[in-house]
Amino acid sequence: MKFKIKKSYKYLVVVILCIALVGWKLDRNKKLNASETQMANVSVSYLPVKVDTVKITVLNSEIESSGIIESNLDLVLLSETQGKITEIYKQKGDYVSKGELIAKVDDEVLKAQLELSKVNLEACEKDFHRLKKLVVENAVSKKDFEDIGLKYQKAKSDYVTTKKKHDDTQIKSPVTAYINDDYIDVGMFINGGSKICNIIDPSDLKMDIHLSEKELLQIGVSKNVNVSSDAFSGANFKGEISNIAQKATDNNLFKTEISLNGQSEKLLKAGMFVQVRIDTPQQDVVLISRKSISGSLKNASVFVVEDDYVVEKDVVIADNLGEYVVVESGINKDDVIVTSGTLNLYDRANVRVIN
């Protein structure tokens, strides 16, 4: 009996010790949790951020485009007569002066017609002047004089028309330039409107690019253009903006003509693909890191540090340069803005600068 009472006592002591140990453990965990909670509250009371001061930056920018070189003078000479080609005086690659003979069409029939119309004109002219004297003396009727006058006018018209047709058998260059290609051979029969040759001036070059409204504003009064080609590695050619369209295309782009006059015809040639670079005037702008922007570029805002908290301000983005953006309005010079750590920020949040 005594043994049983002693054994029960031991069990009771063990239970009391277990209860005490559990109580101590719970109290310790409670104190630990309270300490961690207090530390957490301290840590979130200030959000760590990196900042930078807004500065006015000088921006050197350029506009890039590309296009194909053309000749200002690039025409296809067409025949104004019909017949067989009897002579060719200038061929592909030849230099021709204005009015110089390129080819000749058979003119045997037209030559005879021209002689006949000339004789007829001379006869009508004599009759006209003879009757003109007689009508003054009332030796001939006024109707006869009017009839010979009409006949004389028709003779002059026939002669001019026939001479023009005869002259057209001699195909001449209308300009001074080079024959780039030809389309005729001796013995070939051509009609009116047939292609004779392609004439270009390789020293008078141009090219067209298309610029947006924004790019036109960037250019300002600048007219100088740098031109480069993959065919001439490292070489740089000069151009000049010669004309900007007064009306935009359907894509809201303005056709801009660039003159390449003065370039060596041994280098740049019509048909070459080239790159264009237009240096724009220097601009004083507010340039900030893209990482400073909260939200999209269309609805952008930044966090400005004031004392130990931040104020969220809406900004207008003028241009996106990739890693950086140009701010048109919304912040001022010397404002301190958050550049890193914006993810958890909100207006009036307490912050601590860590950079």
Q: Residue 41: pLDDT band by 50, 70, 90 thresholds?
A: very low
pTM over 0.75: no
Q: Say whether both 294 and 270 belong to one domain.
A: no
Q: Say whether both 213 and 68 belong to one domain.
A: yes
pLDDT above 60: residue 37:
no
pLDDT above 80: residue 248:
yes
What pLDDT shows up at residue 338?
93
CA distances in angstroms from 302 to 38, 291, 307, 328, listed in the order given: 31, 10, 16, 13
330, 289 Cβ separation under 8 angstroms:
no
Tell whether 53 is covered by a domain: yes
Q: Say whether both 328 and 342 belong to one domain.
A: yes
149-170 pLDDT, tens digit each: 999 999 999 999 999 999 999 9
255-306 pLDDT, tens digit each: 999 998 765 546 888 999 999 998 887 778 898 989 999 888 889 999 999 9
In single-letter form, the type of residue at position 29 comes to N
CB atoms within 10 A of CB 113: 18
Pinpoint the alpha helices (H) of 191-234.
213-219
In the chain, the percentage of residues whose pLDDT exceeds 90 is 53
Q: Say whether both 178 and 96 belong to one domain.
A: yes
Tokens of 63: 């506009």
Q: Say whether both 289 and 316 belong to one domain.
A: yes
Q: What is the CATH number of the domain that holds 195?
A: 2.40.50.100
pLDDT above 70: residue 64:
yes
Tell me the average pLDDT of the chain. 86
Where a domain ends, among 279, 297, 332? 279
Q: Say whether both 91 and 116 belong to one domain.
A: no
What pLDDT shows up at residue 160?
96
Q: Say whether both 68 and 214 belong to one domain.
A: yes
Q: What's the whole-number mean pLDDT along residues 248-252?
A: 90
pLDDT above 70: residue 28:
no
Q: What is the CATH number of the domain that holds 117?
A: 1.10.287.470
Q: How far apart are the two ends of the chain, measured CA to CA in Å?
A: 79
What pLDDT shows up at residue 137?
74
Nearest to 148 by CA among 120, 126, 127: 127
170, 225 Cβ separation under 8 angstroms:
no
Q: What is the CATH number of the domain that holds 292?
A: 2.40.420.20
Tell whether 226 is covered by a domain: yes
- Structural domain of 186: 76-106+169-200
Q: Residue 33: pLDDT band by 50, 70, 90 thresholds?
A: low
Q: How many residues does the chain have?
A: 355
Where a domain ends, among 249, 279, 309? 279
DSSP string, 153-198: HHHHHHHHHHHHHHHTTEEE-SSSEEEEEE---TT-EE-TT-EEEE
pLDDT above 60: residue 336:
yes
- d(Cα 131, Cα 145) in Å, to the nearest integer? 6
In the chain, the percentage of residues whose pLDDT exceeds 70 is 86
Tell whether 25 is covered by a domain: no
Tell whether 39 is covered by a domain: no
What pLDDT shows up at residue 38?
45
In single-letter form, the type of residue at position 193 comes to G
What pLDDT shows up at residue 305?
94
pLDDT above 90: residue 67:
yes
Where a domain ends, among 200, 221, 247? 200
Nearest to 71 by CA among 167, 207, 166, 176: 207
CB atoms within 10 A of CB 291: 15
What pLDDT shows up at residue 104?
97
Q: Say whether both 180 and 93 belong to one domain.
A: yes
Q: Which 3 state secondary structure label does DSSP give 111?
A: helix
Nearest to 202 by CA among 231, 178, 237, 235: 178
What pLDDT shows up at residue 80?
95
Q: Say whether both 157 and 52 belong to one domain.
A: no
Q: What's the whole-number mean pLDDT along residues 226-240?
A: 87
Q: Say whether both 141 and 52 belong to one domain.
A: no
Count: domains in the chain: 4
78-134 pLDDT, tens digit each: 999 999 999 999 999 999 999 999 999 999 999 999 999 999 999 999 999 888 888
Q: Which of 4-18, 224-238, 273-287 has the lowest mean pLDDT?
A: 4-18
Q: Say whether both 117 and 208 belong to one domain.
A: no
pLDDT above 50: residue 347:
yes
Tell whether 338 is covered by a domain: yes
The arrangement of strands across the sheet holding 316-320 comes to 56-59, 283-289, 324-329, 316-320
Q: What residues does 313 pair with on adjacent strands?
A: 302
288, 302 Cβ separation under 8 angstroms:
yes
What pLDDT shows up at residue 295?
86
Tell whether 194 is covered by a domain: yes
Nearest to 209 by CA among 260, 262, 253: 253
Long-range contacts of 313-321 (CB under 8 A, 24+ apart): 317/293, 318/285, 320/290, 321/287
What pLDDT shows up at residue 315?
94
Q: What is the CATH number of the domain that holds 251?
A: 2.40.30.170
Q: Residue 215: pLDDT band by 50, 70, 90 thresholds?
A: confident
Tell whether 15 is covered by a domain: no
Q: Say whether both 187 and 327 belong to one domain.
A: no
- d(Cα 352, Cα 283) in Å, to the nearest integer? 34
Q: What's the whole-number mean pLDDT along residues 304-333?
A: 90
What pLDDT shows up at residue 42?
42
